[in-house]
């Protein structure tokens, strides 16, 4: 059967056995073609989990929604099909910095791509679109706001657009965490094209509500949905409560060497203060927030991406779409406002598959700060209620003694996977469990005796036995639970209340001023003697020493400076790690390293082979 007939069968033959067989043959051929391109350009012999299904769906002409965690290779899922589709692929991306990084990276692989954004003159935009029409570019990266330009719309109509890939698709939903109104105009733009292209929507995190919004607001037609799991097995999650945050960071950096990491703080002031502290202690770090000039932010970001500055202190204005693959840790100096934001920001660690560490430094003021920010930025009552609900989930995460990875995965709808992951601050904590059943009974009893009408602060004050005006007015000093925990500090009692809430013994009502009530498991503790335990968790510290890896890293940095590209675009840490472990001796063996494609072998292969040979020759001297 000829190729044209086979392609026709995709659209017309689905109701016959012959049609289905034809479809399978065509799809298998296209997927094999995609695998060949993956090996040739990207240097990987096989697709990662989930990539093949997404790519097959797109190549079959199906609208597709792919929810894949950061580091799972979402970009490959639209970059590879773009080389197979006959026309041009438009990639809708939210940040200019991301576009440039992606285009530079593709250029280094030998894949023709360009970007169009506000930094270009109209004449340059027309020139690039004209070259795309001549087949010079397969991918064009654009910001969603650009689609609203009538001039741009007219120019795009001259192109054969086969495929539109929408990155960070959660931005279309007001229930997501990076809502961008311009994303809601994408469907209208697509409807105005001469022929409707295949649509692919990609995001790392999405609740059921956000998934529905993506499908509806982007006008996806009978889309195939693929969720490639939310688990990032290479990331270690932990929460540190009650620590002096500055001392913790200083101690952590002292033990982290020159590893790249991001420290997120909630406010500009906190970023500036921490940046000055670290700089004053001699640490090479950058900072990034909306209060800086464009040039300052760009200079700081580039220094971090190029490994000139190993540490970036930033607000959440930094990072969406940052492609730097060798970030080894992400520390949240303050708790985030919701789990979606946390998992996306934490997920910037270990994008290369190598180990990464994700730490939240929790302090009680974090909750007040996030509530203030919700009040200042959210005006819809329904959305405000939703934001408070999500904030409480983050508080629960920061207090649960159970597996942190399980907590995250269950939030995103993956249940019943495991009880302990073995790679988080809860599962790897070697401290003893402390029986706090008596304390739990005292707290729950106090909540009940206060008729479940007050917040955690007042409950803690009653248990502490303080004599403030409100307690005396309400005669709570006459309750049997008054002063029962006077040996504890108010903060310790509040922490216990939060822990009991996280485990279902108590629960908080939603809103700016939540009320504490007895939870679903309260009766089991009060009447059935169920035990309640608490333990203190520690952050995991693991250092690896690999001399050859360090030599390869130095060589990569020198090459990156020479070629004026970020080091991770030369080779990722994962590729360097595999080189250091297998020590390839020739070009063919080097081609077997994951991430070494034909273009990179030609550009850099000999230089890295030389470093490996020199290391091997000098090894006896080191021993």
> Per residue in 514-548, pLDDT tens?
899 998 889 989 888 888 887 654 444 444 445 88
Rounded to 5 degrees, φ, ψ at 21 are -65, -40
Task: Decide: 497 and 490 in contact? Cβ < 8 Å.
Answer: no
What is the reported pLDDT for 200?
A: 97
DSSP 275: H
Are 168 and 288 found together in one domain? no
Which string of DSSP letters, residue by residue, matches 398-430? HH--S-HHHHHHHHTT--SS-S--SSBTTTT--
Long-range Cβ pairs for the range 601-608 (8 Å, 24+): 601/43, 603/108, 604/559, 604/570, 604/571, 607/555, 607/559, 608/552, 608/555, 608/571, 608/579
Are 13 and 87 found together in one domain? yes
Are 40 and 165 found together in one domain? yes
CATH number of the structural domain spanning residue 98:
3.40.50.300
Distance from C-alpha of 443 to C-alpha of 593, rounded to nearest angstrom: 58
Tens of pLDDT, residue by residue over 306-335, are 899 999 999 987 865 567 889 999 999 999
Q: Which has more pLDDT, 442 or 256?
A: 442
Q: Is residue 422 part of a domain?
A: no
Distance from C-alpha of 505 to C-alpha of 501, rounded to nearest angstrom: 6
Q: Coil, strand, or helix at residue 432?
A: coil
Q: Is residue 421 part of a domain?
A: no
Lowest mean pLDDT among 240-244, 257-261, 464-468, 520-524: 240-244
Q: Compute the residue count for the chain.
A: 623
Place of tokens 């002292």: 254
Taking 70 as the threshold, does the pLDDT of residue 619 lie above it?
no
Alpha helices per DSSP H over 413-536: 437-449, 456-464, 469-473, 490-502, 522-526
Are 407 and 484 found together in one domain? no
Are 134 and 200 found together in one domain? yes
**Average pLDDT score over the chain:** 86
Are 154 and 64 found together in one domain? yes
Lowest mean pLDDT among 23-32, 91-100, 198-207: 23-32
Are 253 and 201 found together in one domain? no
pTM above 0.75, yes or no: no
Average pLDDT on 183-196 reads: 93
Range of the domain at 376: 235-411
Are 33 and 142 found together in one domain? yes
Helix (H) or strand (E) holding 392: helix 381-399
Distance from C-alpha of 574 to C-alpha of 305, rounded to nearest angstrom: 17
First-last CA distance in the chain = 64
Distance from C-alpha of 203 to C-alpha of 70, rounded to nearest angstrom: 8
Are 357 and 250 found together in one domain? yes
Count CA atoms within 13 Å of residue 490 on its CB side: 10
Cα–Cα nearest to 281, from 251, 314, 243: 251
Distance from C-alpha of 504 to C-alpha of 518, rounded to nearest angstrom: 9
β-sheet bridge partners, residue 240: 361
Q: How many domains does the chain have?
A: 4
CATH number of the structural domain spanning residue 501:
1.10.10.10
Count CA atoms within 13 Å of residue 262 on its CB side: 34
């Amino acid at each position: 059967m000829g190729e044209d007939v086979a392609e026709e069968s995709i659209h017309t033959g689905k109701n016959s056995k012959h049609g289905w067989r034809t479809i399978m043959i065509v799809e298998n051929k296209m997927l094999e073609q995609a695998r060949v391109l993956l090996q040739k350009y990207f240097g990987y012999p096989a697709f990662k989990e989930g990539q093949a299904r997404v790519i097959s769906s797109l190549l079959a002409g199906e609208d597709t929604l792919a929810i894949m965690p950061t580091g799972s290779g979402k970009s490959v899922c639209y970059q590879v099909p773009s080389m197979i589709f006959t026309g041009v692929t438009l990639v809708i991306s939210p940040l200019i910095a991301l576009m440039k990084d992606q285009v530079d990276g593709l250029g280094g692989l030998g894949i023709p791509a360009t970007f169009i954004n506000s930094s270009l003159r109209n004449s340059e935009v027309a020139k690039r679109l004209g070259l795309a029409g001549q087949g010079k570019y397969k991918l064009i990266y654009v910001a969603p706001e650009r689609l609203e330009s009538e001039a741009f719309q007219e120019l795009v109509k001259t192109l054969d657009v086969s495929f539109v890939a929408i990155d960070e698709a959660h931005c279309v939903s007001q229930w997501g965490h990076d809502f961008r109104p311009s994303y809601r105009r994408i469907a209208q733009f697509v409807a105005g094209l001469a022929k409707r292209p295949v649509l692919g929507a990609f995001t790392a995190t999405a609740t059921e509500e956000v998934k529905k919004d993506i499908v509806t607001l982007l006008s996806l037609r009978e889309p195939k949905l693929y969720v490639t799991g939310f688990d990032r097995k290479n990331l270690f999650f932990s929460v540190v409560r009650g620590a002096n945050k500055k001392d913790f960071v200083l101690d952590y950096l002292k033990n982290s060497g020159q590893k790249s990491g991001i420290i997120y703080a909630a406010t500009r002031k906190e970023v500036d203060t921490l940046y000055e502290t670290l700089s004053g202690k001699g640490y090479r770090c950058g900072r990034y927030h909306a209060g800086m000039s464009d040039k300052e932010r760009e200079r700081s970001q580039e220094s971090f991406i190029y490994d000139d500055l190993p540490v970036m202190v930033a607000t959440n204005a930094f990072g969406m779409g940052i492609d730097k693959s060798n970030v080894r840790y992400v520390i949240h100096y303050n708790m985030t406002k919701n789990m979606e934001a946390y998992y996306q920001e934490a997920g910037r660690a270990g994008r290369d598959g190598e180990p990464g560490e994700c730490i939240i430094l929790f302090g009680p003021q974090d909750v007040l700060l996030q509530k203030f920010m919700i009040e200042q930025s959210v005006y819809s009552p329904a959305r405000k209620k939703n934001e408070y609900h999500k904030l409480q989930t983050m508080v629960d995460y920061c207090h649960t003694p159970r597996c942190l990875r399980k907590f995250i995965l269950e939030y995103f709808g993956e249940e019943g996977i495991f009880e302990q992951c073995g790679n988080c601050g809860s599962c790897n904590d070697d401290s003893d469990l402390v029986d706090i059943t008596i304390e739990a009974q005292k707290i729950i009893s106090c909540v009940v005796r206060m008729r479940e009408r007050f917040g955690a602060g007042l409950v803690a004050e009653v248990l502490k036995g303080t004599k403030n005006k409100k307690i005396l007015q309400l005669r709570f000093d006459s309750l049997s639970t008054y002063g029962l925990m006077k040996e504890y500090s108010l903060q310790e009692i509040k922490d216990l209340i939060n822990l009991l809430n996280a485990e279902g013994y108590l629960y908080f009502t939603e809103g700016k001023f939540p009320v504490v009530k007895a939870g679903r498991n309260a009766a089991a503790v009060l009447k059935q003697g169920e035990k309640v335990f608490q333990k203190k968790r520690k952050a995991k510290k693991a250092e690896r020493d690999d001399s050859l890896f360090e030599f390869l890293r130095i060589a990569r940095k020198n090459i990156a400076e020479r070629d004026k590209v970020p080091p991770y675009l030369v080779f990722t840490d994962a590729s360097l790690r595999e080189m250091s472990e297998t020590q390839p001796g020739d070009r063919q063996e080097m081609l077997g390293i994951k991430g070494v494609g034909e273009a990179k072998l030609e550009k850099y292969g000999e230089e890295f082979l030389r470093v490996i040979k020199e290391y091997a020759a000098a090894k006896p001297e080191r021993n």
